[in-house]
């Protein structure tokens, strides 16, 4: 029982640290309750069954350093090339369509000592 409780607690904590994408008006808002840094590399449009519909690579990774996150505007979303699993170009996600992100959480090197 204790092992199961520890696993559940660990899973809940890892979920809270993940980046989440949601719609805010016609913008995709990417945020987390925890400060970063994170490097967002792709936006993902999902089908209603949870599988990927299309993925768009950002021209440059977006760095998110705090819990305020980042907003991707409609013009930026529409300007990206959205590719499906077969490599075919697809339409960008409609406002409200399930979306997500692919991102990296960097491992930080040793910090210099404080004075």
* Segment 77-100, tens digit of pLDDT: 999 999 999 999 999 999 999 999
Which residue(s) pair with 20 in the sheet? Answer: 31
What SS3 class is residue 111?
coil
Averaged over 37-56, what is the pLDDT?
94
> DSSP class of residue 48?
T
Which residue(s) pair with 53 in the sheet? Answer: none
The answer to pTM > 0.85 is no
What pLDDT does 16 receive? 53
- 115 pLDDT above the threshold of 90: no
What pLDDT does 108 receive? 74
Contacts of 19 (CB under 8 A, 6+ apart): 30, 31, 32, 38, 40, 64, 69, 101, 103
- 54 pLDDT above the threshold of 50: yes
């Amino acid at each position: 029982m204790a092992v199961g409780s520890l696993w559940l607690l660990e899973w809940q904590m890892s979920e809270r640290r993940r980046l989440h994408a949601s719609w805010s008006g016609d913008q995709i808002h990417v945020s987390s309750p925890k400060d970063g840094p994170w490097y967002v590399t792709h936006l993902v449009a999902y089908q209603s069954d949870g599988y990927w519909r299309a993925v768009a690579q950002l021209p440059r990774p977006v760095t998110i350093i705090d819990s305020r996150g980042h907003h991707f505007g409609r013009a930026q979303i529409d300007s990206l090339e959205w590719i499906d699993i077969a490599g075919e170009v697809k339409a960008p996600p409609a406002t409200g369509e399930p979306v997500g992100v692919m991102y990296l959480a960097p491992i930080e090197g040793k910090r210099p000592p404080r004075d």
